[in-house]
Amino acid sequence: MRAADFKRAWAINDRDLARFCQIWPEKHTGPRHLQRIWRGEQLCGKRVLVRCYHGLGDTIQFVRFMPALRAVAREVTLWCQPELLALLERMDGVDRAMPLNDGTPDAEFDVDIEIMEVPHAIRAEYDSIAMRRPYLTSDCRDSRAISGTGDRLAVGLVWEVGEWDKRRAIPATLLQRLNRCGVNLYSLQQGPAAAQAAGIGAVDISTPDIGMLSRTIEQLDLVVCVDTMIGHLAGALGCDAWVLLHRDCDWRWPAFGKKTFWYPSLRLFHQSAPGEWSGVIEEVGLALADLASAKERNRPYLANPRA
């Protein structure tokens, strides 16, 4: 998947799926997150229930396949995280969206599949995976103004993703350097780390409402974030974001390079060594300073200017 060799990826998945079907011959057995749902059944002409059992970012990344799935299925029901419901229920390819829960889905369906298995099921190729245009849209009714930007770039920040993977946490003290770049900083950080925004010099505009967050991202000039849901959301909206990656980054990002076929509006910054964030922030600071200088000279500086 990382190398975009999807034919090989699906062959490996076919092998693994066959093994799991031998271990768990019955569907829907065991703890929910360990259940094997799809067994390789054909989806053509079926009522398909898509289960979003993973993280918010995973759902946002893989919901791009709903139009392609709907092209072969009779009906697509998306059983997604409640936080994403308002954003995804308007999406092309989704006939119905329902909030995910620990019970039984209140929907009629012929086949159920986890959202991250959909590209395997439809045998997606590069042309259907590489993003050509934004596939999510915000609700303009959730609009709010980003105040105090003046003539400076408005840059949103996210520097932690929680306790479960500290490799994706940047010390807030390092981000103070970005105040010297001639930009206005805004915090989109959630959780306990949000209290660090004032020390960085960032105005807190965070919100747990993803509809509001989507519109907020669209009003910013740029988002600078670690590998988190907000990076996926910005990319799916077609907004500019810089994603800061630890040395052993997740499979969905290239190990090297600044671009990804998943999201053309994203720019990637990689650690040179495990735990080495100082060099990443220095690189980001230089790039931000260049953007700020370009803005002062009144020339185009981003692919997606603030909405």
Q: What angle do CA 250, 205, 267 make, to 5 degrees?
A: 35
| pTM to 2 decimal places | 0.91
Establish if 303 belongs to a structural domain. no
Q: How confident is the model at residue 148 (pLDDT cuts 50, 70, 90)?
A: low
Residues 251, 256, 258: CA angle, nearest 5 degrees: 105
CATH number of residue 184's parent domain = 3.40.50.2000
pLDDT, position 299: 54
Say what percent of the chain tops pLDDT 90.
74
**How many percent of the chain have pLDDT more than 70?**
90
In terms of Cα–Cα distance, which of 114, 111, 116, 86 is closest to 98? 86
Which strands, in side-by-side order, build the sheet including 111-114? 96-99, 75-80, 47-51, 111-114
**Cβ–Cβ contacts within 10 Å for residue 216, how many?**
23
Task: Answer yes or no: do 144 and 291 share one domain.
Answer: yes
Same structural domain for residues 288 and 147?
yes
Provide mean pLDDT across the span 224-236: 97
Asked if residue 255 and residue 173 are part of one domain, the reply reads yes
**Spatial contact of 179 and 147, defined as CB atoms under 8 Å apart:** no
Average pLDDT value over all residues in the chain: 90
- Read off the pLDDT of residues 240-262 as tens digits, 9 standing for 90 and up: 999 999 999 999 999 999 999 99
State which residues form the domain around 101: 6-13+22-129
Could you tell me the pLDDT band of residue 307, with boundaries at 50, 70 and 90?
very low
- Of 87, 105, 129, the domain-final residue: 129
Q: Is residue 134 assigned to a domain?
A: no
155 and 204 both lie in a single domain: yes
- State yes or no: pLDDT of 143 exceeds 80: no
Please indicate, yes or no, if residue 145 is contained in any of the structural domains.
Answer: yes
- How many structural domains is the chain composed of? 2
29/131 Cα distance (integer angstroms): 35
How many whole angstroms separate alpha carbon 201 and alpha carbon 163?
23
Place 104 in a pLDDT band, splitting at 50, 70 and 90.
confident
Question: Is residue 121 pLDDT above 90, yes or no?
Answer: yes
Reported as a single tens digit per residue, the pLDDT across 1-22 is 889 999 999 999 999 888 887 8
pLDDT band at 305 (very low <50, low <70, confident <90, very high): very low
Domain endpoint, select from 67, 97, 129 = 129
The CATH number of the domain holding residue 54 is 3.50.50
Grade residue 28 by pLDDT with cuts at 50, 70 and 90.
Answer: low
SS3 label, residue 210: helix
| Cα distances (Å, whole numbers) of residue 23 to 30, 34, 121, 210 | 12, 12, 20, 39
Find, among 77, 76, 116, 82, the residue nearest to 102 by Cα.
82
Q: Are residues 161 and 119 in the same domain?
A: no
**Residue 135 counted as domain residue:** no
Q: What integer is the mean pLDDT of 90-97?
A: 95
Residue 305 lies in a domain: no
Same-domain check for residues 100 and 150? no
Q: What is the pLDDT of residues 170-213, one digit of tens each?
A: 999 999 999 999 999 999 999 999 999 999 999 999 999 999 99
Q: Could you say which of 100, 129, 158 is where a domain stops?
A: 129
Bridge-based pairing state of the strands 222-226 and 203-204: unpaired
Instruction: Tell me what pLDDT residue 22 has.
Output: 81
The CA radius of gyration of the chain, in Å to the nearest whole number, is 20
Q: What is the DSSP letter of 105?
A: -
**27 within some domain:** yes
